[in-house]
């Protein structure tokens, strides 16, 4: 059985890229420690010369290939994250809003795999 994938949704536009990279890296590490494959928007669309539309298009494409989305603090102030939230809901992806919810999801998946 392949690992479940968790997409990371966090505000990027208008934020210090070093801070964004740090938050994203930290989330990736935790997701992977819990046994999932982490999908970072910074890796999905890494071309700094791409337009916003290209970035968000790649992000949504990657999100749709995931099982769950982890929304990091401040997501609700971001248009891109709001679009990701809507896409996740439309396509019935698990939406997680905290590390606690991510850990609960990991336990549920682990339990399902042992049945």
Please state whether beta strands 94-96 and 68-71 pair in parallel, antiparallel, or not at all (unpaired).
parallel
Q: What is the CA radius of gyration of the chain?
A: 14
Contact 74, 27 (CB under 8 A): no
What is the pTM (predicted TM-score) of this model? 0.93
Q: How confident is the model at residue 5 (pLDDT cuts 50, 70, 90)?
A: very high
Nearest residue to 59 via CA among 72, 43, 70: 43
Using a pLDDT cut of 70, give the percent of the chain over it: 97
Q: How confident is the model at residue 105 (pLDDT cuts 50, 70, 90)?
A: very high
Distance separating alpha carbons of residues 73 and 22, to the nearest angstrom:
13
Secondary element (H or E) of residue 113: helix 99-114
Cβ-proximal residues to 52 (8 Å cutoff; 6+ apart), any chain: 13
Confidence (pLDDT) at 112: 78
User: Crossing angle for the helix pair 79-90 and 52-64, nearest 10 degrees?
Assistant: 30
């Amino acid at each position: 059985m392949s690992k479940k994938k968790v997409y990371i949704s966090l505000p990027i536009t208008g934020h210090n890229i070093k801070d964004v990279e740090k938050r994203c890296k930290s989330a990736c590490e935790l997701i992977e420690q819990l046994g999932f494959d982490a999908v970072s928007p910074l890796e999905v669309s890494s071309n700094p010369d791409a337009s916003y539309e290209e970035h968000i298009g790649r992000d949504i494409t990657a999100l749709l290939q995931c099982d769950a989305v982890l929304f990091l603090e401040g997501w609700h102030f971001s248009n891109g994250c709001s679009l990701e939230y809507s896409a996740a809901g439309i396509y019935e992806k698990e939406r997680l809003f905290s590390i606690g919810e991510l850990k609960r999801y990991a336990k549920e998946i682990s339990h399902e795999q042992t049945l």
